[in-house]
Amino acid sequence: MVYQARADRYDTMKYNRCGRSGLKLPAISLGMWHNFGGRDIYENARAMILRSFDLGITHYDLANGYGSPSYSAEQLLGQVLISDLAAYRDEIVISTKSGYDAWLGPYGEWGSKKYIVSSLDRSLKRMGLDYVDIYYSHRPDPETPFEETMGALDMLVRQGKALYIGISNYDAEQTAEAIRILKALGTPLLIHQPVYSMFERWIENGLQDVLEIGGSGTIAFCPLAQGLLTNRYLDGIPADSRAAKPVAHLREHHVTDEKLEIIRQLSEVAKERGQSLAQMAIAWVLRGGKVTSALIGASRVEQIEENAKALDNMVFSLEELQTIDNILAK
């Protein structure tokens, strides 16, 4: 069946300006870290991508190594672009990254100009694209001067292979330096992608201020703490959950009885708001307007639909915020 996007796809999604740029991102973006690879069911992945677009989620986030096996997430998105979304390319924001292990040898990771340029060329080929909308340095390189890393990113924008530049996993001081260098080069830093959730709040200790002053946006990854901030863990660790498998950074020993009790108490606050725990967690990340977009993962279409409904109730009272802080402080 030929895919045709829903005519009402922009009616309910909220779009936020990314820093002081002209680009707006959906308040919820789709990350393709897990469940979008060669070992996953293609039709399920395709259904999630298309359903997200029908819900107004116009941003798909990848990295050169995403998918299982590595690189297969970019290949999968390339297939869906060809089969279903080619006519909508101008309505879609596609981002990818380089920084972690991508191929053997001394030029296959970190932040050298050779690696960054080669990695993007490989990513574009896998996706069948002439350019990506956002290209990230996935992590700071302690041995390569920032001038080289940022200079390579600036060059790729000038070559037309990327429209905007982002960074991920940089601390406040490193981010300030990246902003300074890129501004001098004439390619402002569009966005930073840090981990941020109720359980991971390090960006509140300086990074958010740096980004606000620098005019850069923020897209938070793992806003649901890899599934901990959902209803899945209310009764313990499900057999098919990330915590029960050697996947990503979530391990069974991270899910303590104390954390499970915090999750249950947060769920009660969400119920009082008329939300699921996941919906409240996403709304919390987006509170106050400092975060441009929350980057969700998914394994089923239903999860995307549930998470999109977080936008139905984005307002927190001061009492609710204090209650959440008190629960998290236990």
Q: Is the separation of the CB atoms in 295 and 34 below 8 Å?
A: no
Spatial distance between the Cα atoms of 311 and 304, rounded to a whole number of angstroms: 12
Residue 118, domain extent: 15-328
Calculate the dihedral angle through the C-alpha atoms of 245, 220, 174, 172, rounding to the nearest 10 degrees.
-110
SS3 content of the chain, % helix, strand, coil (to 5): 45, 15, 40
pLDDT at position 251? 54
Spatial distance between the Cα atoms of 71 and 62, rounded to a whole number of angstroms: 9
Is the pLDDT confidence value at 247 over 70? no
Residue type, 189: L
Q: Name every residue whose Cβ is closer than 8 Å to that of residue 323 and which is 6 or more positions away in sequence.
A: 269
Is residue 245 situated within a structural domain?
Answer: yes
pTM of the predicted model as reported, rounded to 2 decimal places: 0.94
Spatial distance between the Cα atoms of 118 and 102, rounded to a whole number of angstroms: 10
CATH code: domain of residue 239? 3.20.20.100
Residue type, 307: N
Average pLDDT over residues 25-43: 95
Residue type, 168: S
pLDDT at position 234? 80
Is residue 7 situated within a structural domain?
Answer: no
The DSSP call for residue 202 is G
Q: Which element (helix H / strand E) includes 137? A: strand 132-137
Tell me the HSE value of 17 on the side-chain side, using a 13 A CA sphere: 6
pLDDT at position 310? 98
Average pLDDT over residues 107-127: 98
Full 3-state SS string of 72-126: HHHHHHHHHHHHHHHHHHHHCEEEEEECCCCCCCCCCCCCCHHHHHHHHHHHHHH
Spatial distance between the Cα atoms of 115 and 230, rounded to a whole number of angstroms: 37
Is residue 9 situated within a structural domain?
Answer: no
Spatial distance between the Cα atoms of 97 and 310, rounded to a whole number of angstroms: 27
* Total number of domains in the chain: 1
Is the pLDDT confidence value at 250 over 60? no
Is residue 268 situated within a structural domain?
Answer: yes
Is residue 238 situated within a structural domain?
Answer: yes
pLDDT at position 253? 61
Residue with the larger pLDDT of the pair 239 and 65: 65
Is residue 3 situated within a structural domain?
Answer: no
Is residue 10 situated within a structural domain?
Answer: no
Is residue 8 situated within a structural domain?
Answer: no
Nearest to 233 by CA among 197, 258, 264, 195: 264
Is the pLDDT confidence value at 232 over 80? yes
Q: How far is CA 24 from CA 13, 45, 49, 68, 203, in A?
A: 12, 25, 19, 30, 22
DSSP 3-state assignment of 219? strand
Spatial distance between the Cα atoms of 170 and 186, rounded to a whole number of angstroms: 20
Share of the chain above pLDDT 90, in %: 91
Spatial distance between the Cα atoms of 71 and 122, rounded to a whole number of angstroms: 9
pLDDT tens per residue, range 194-219? 999 999 999 999 999 999 999 999 99
